[in-house]
Structure 1
Amino acid sequence: MAAQHHTLGDQEVGLSGKVGFFWIVMNRDGRDALLCNAIELSDAEHYGEVLTHPGGHYEYWEAMKQRGPAWLRARNLSAELLRTEYEDWPRGRVVYHVKKAKFITYADPRVRTGARIALVRTAFRMADIKLVVREDSHYRLPPPSLIPDAEY
């Protein structure tokens, strides 16, 4: 995959990945699927030392509900999503740490399977990029897990 060239302040980096937020949900066959909003680094905003998507899970989920079952069918996603809340599904966010020059995924521990990480990698164009996965209190159901950071 050819890397795209982005200028990040005074640091120039050749990258192909995206940033954004996601959920692991069900497709119409009951299998894992990704519902996400991923954007190019050139469209991301700075938040401290990272580049991130300016939007959030709640707003996107509410907009998805307004779009209705036809919108979900067009994406092969289950209409069951319309009867649930955004916190009901494993979710996370992909950011890019500018100084460390790496992508970090903050995610619910239930995302940490090879198949689910592969869904994230595909949607965020990170097939050949090292990905650090961390837990975050925003994306976890109680009680807190003690799983350490992992690299995939």
Structure 2
Amino acid sequence: QQQKQLIHQLVQENEHLRHEIKQLRKENEQLKYRVQELEARTKKNSSNSHLPPSSDRFANTRSSRKPSGNKPGGQEGHQGTTLRQVEHPHHRIVHRVHTCQGCGASLREVTPFKVDIRQVFDVPPVAIEVTQHEREVKSCPHCRCVQQA
């Protein structure tokens, strides 16, 4: 009796598992098809489909440099290239401290113990220069041929 019950239970479980395997295989096939479809879509660009060039993705460029192991940027101890300060700047703007940010007291009568100087070098804007070209047009008095300079 117990054996028959166990056999019956195992047969039912076997049927259930077979059904589940069948469902999973079906789902697996659908997912494979979907992956194939998506991969084909990502491989399309303006040269092999009707897509506009603006939809093309940028190709990742590989650097031809070999890694040196150093951090990027200026290395420790290298001499920088900075513009030297000039003795007579074109303009001078003095930024004064009038009040203490800590307590709000007036600092107008206090003499500064240090002046921090920073110079900003600006390239003046380019001015447009207009040149007018005037070409003479003359008619020959002998043959009436029109000549242009």
TM-score range normalised by the length of the shorter chain: under 0.3
Q: Name the structure, 1 or 2, with higher relative contact order (CA <8 Å, separation 6+).
A: 1
| Higher percent of residues as strand | 1
Q: So what's the TM-score if we normalise by structure 1?
A: 0.13
